[in-house]
Amino acid sequence: MVQRKIIHIDMDAFYASVEQRDHPAYRGKPIAVGGSPEGRGGVVATASYEARKFGVRSAMPSRKARELCPQVIFVKPRFDAYQAASAKIREIFHRYTDLIEPLSLDEAYLDVTEDKQQIGSAIEIAKMIKQAIREELQLTASAGVSVNKFVAKIASDMNKPDGLTFIGPSRIESFIDTLPVERFFGVGRVTAEKMKNLDIHTGADIKKMTEADLVKYFGKTGRFYYQIARGIDDRPVQPHRETKSLAAEDTFPEDLTTPDEMRPELDKITQTVCRRLRRHSLKGRTITLKIKYSDFRQITRSRSLPERVDDPDTILAVVMELLLSTDPTGKKIRLLGVSLSNFDERRAVPGRAGEAGAGQLELF
Ligand code: DCP
Ligand code: MG
Distance CA 174, CA 184 (A): 15
* Same structural domain, 272 and 347: yes
The pLDDT of residue 1: 65
13 Cβ inside 6 Å of ligand 1: yes
Q: Do 359 and 2 meet the contact criterion of CB atoms below 8 Å apart?
A: yes
* Same structural domain, 285 and 187: no
> Residue 314 is inside which H or E element, if any?
helix 312-324
Pairing of strands 284-293, 141-146: unpaired
* pLDDT class of 356 with cuts at 50, 70, 90: very low
Mean pLDDT throughout 161-165? 97
* pLDDT class of 219 with cuts at 50, 70, 90: confident
In a domain, 286, yes or no: yes
Domain holding 213, by residue range, is 173-228
276 Cβ inside 6 Å of ligand 1: no
> Residue 222 in 3-state DSSP?
helix
* Same structural domain, 219 and 300: no
Pairing of strands 141-146, 164-166: parallel
* Same structural domain, 256 and 349: yes
Strand order across the beta sheet in which 44-47 lies: 44-47, 31-34, 73-75
Mean pLDDT throughout 229-239? 93
Show which of 30, 54, 79 is a domain's final residue. 79
10 Cβ inside 6 Å of ligand 1: yes
* pLDDT class of 29 with cuts at 50, 70, 90: very high
In a domain, 258, yes or no: yes
pLDDT of residue 359 exceeding 70, the answer is: no
pLDDT of residue 111 exceeding 60, the answer is: yes
* pLDDT class of 12 with cuts at 50, 70, 90: very high
pLDDT of residue 241 exceeding 60, the answer is: yes
Show which of 188, 203, 228 is a domain's final residue. 228
* Same structural domain, 205 and 256: no
229 Cβ inside 6 Å of ligand 1: no
The pLDDT of residue 345: 52
Residue 91 CA from chain centroid, whole number: 22
* Same structural domain, 344 and 276: yes
> Residue 218 in 3-state DSSP?
helix
Residue type, 115: D
More confident residue, 42 or 143: 143
In a domain, 215, yes or no: yes
* Same structural domain, 281 and 344: yes
In a domain, 92, yes or no: no
In a domain, 263, yes or no: yes
pLDDT of residue 87 exceeding 80, the answer is: yes
* Same structural domain, 219 and 180: yes
pLDDT of residue 364 exceeding 80, the answer is: no
Q: What is the CATH number of the domain that holds 55?
A: 3.40.1170.60
The pLDDT of residue 38: 73
In a domain, 314, yes or no: yes
In a domain, 100, yes or no: no
Q: Do 222 and 215 meet the contact criterion of CB atoms below 8 Å apart?
A: yes
Written as one string, the DSSP assignment of 151-214 is: HHHHHHTTT-SS-EEE--HHHHHHHHHT-BGGGSTT--HHHHHHHHHTT--BHHHHHHS-HHHH
Q: What is the CATH number of the domain that holds 192?
A: 1.10.150.20
More confident residue, 105 or 188: 105
Q: What predicted TM-score, i.e. pTM, was given to this entire model?
A: 0.78
Show which of 79, 108, 127 is a domain's final residue. 79
The rounded Å distance from CA 13 to ligand 2 centre is 5
For residue 333, what are the CA distances in angstroms to 117, 184, 249? 55, 27, 13
pLDDT in tens, 61-76: 999 999 999 999 999 9
* pLDDT class of 358 with cuts at 50, 70, 90: very low
- Nearest ligand for residue 75 CA: 1
pLDDT of residue 308 exceeding 80, the answer is: yes
Distance CA 290, CA 292 (A): 7
Nearest atom (ligand 1) to Cα of 47: 23
Q: What percent of the chain has pLDDT over 70?
A: 93
In a domain, 45, yes or no: yes
Mean pLDDT throughout 192-213? 94
Pairing of strands 164-166, 107-111: unpaired
Query: Pocket of ligand 1, candidates 8, 9, 10, 14: which has the most ligand atoms within 8 Å of its Cβ, to mutate?
Result: 14
* C-beta contacts of 326-332 below 8 A and 24+ residues apart: 326/291, 326/299, 326/301, 328/258, 328/259, 328/262, 328/291, 329/257, 329/258, 329/259, 330/257, 331/257, 331/293, 332/255, 332/256, 332/257, 332/293, 332/294, 332/295
pLDDT of residue 361 exceeding 80, the answer is: no
Q: Do 230 and 205 meet the contact criterion of CB atoms below 8 Å apart?
A: no
Q: Do 216 and 301 meet the contact criterion of CB atoms below 8 Å apart?
A: no
* Same structural domain, 254 and 189: no
The pLDDT of residue 168: 95
* pLDDT class of 338 with cuts at 50, 70, 90: very high
Distance CA 230, CA 204 (A): 9
- Of the residues 107, 254, 261, 362, only one is catalytic, namely 107
* pLDDT class of 319 with cuts at 50, 70, 90: very high
Mean pLDDT throughout 225-231? 93
The pLDDT of residue 357: 27
* Same structural domain, 253 and 214: no
Residue owning the nearest CA to atom 13 of ligand 1: 279
Distance CA 286, CA 274 (A): 13
The pLDDT of residue 354: 29
For residue 13, what are the CA distances in angstroms to 37, 48, 336? 19, 6, 31
Q: Alpha helices of 32-168 — where are they, by DSSP H?
A: 49-52, 62-68, 79-94, 122-137, 149-156
* Same structural domain, 321 and 280: yes
Query: Pocket of ligand 1, candidates 57, 58, 246: which has the most ligand atoms within 8 Å of its Cβ, to mutate?
Result: 58
9 Cβ inside 6 Å of ligand 1: no
- How many domains, in total, are found in the chain? 3
> Residue 75 in 3-state DSSP?
strand
- Radius of gyration for the alpha carbons in the chain, expressed in angstroms and rounded: 21
The pLDDT of residue 188: 79
Question: Between the ranges 159-163, 297-301, 344-348, where is the mean pLDDT highest?
Answer: 159-163
Report the range of poorest mean pLDDT among 79-88, 96-105, 198-207, 352-361: 352-361
Mean pLDDT throughout 311-336? 95
pLDDT in tens, 267-304: 999 999 999 898 888 899 999 999 999 988 899 999 99
14 Cβ inside 6 Å of ligand 1: yes
Determine the straight-line distance between the first and last CA of the chain, rounded to whole angstroms: 16
- Confirm whether 107 is a catalytic residue: yes
Q: Do 190 and 171 meet the contact criterion of CB atoms below 8 Å apart?
A: no
pLDDT of residue 346 exceeding 60, the answer is: no
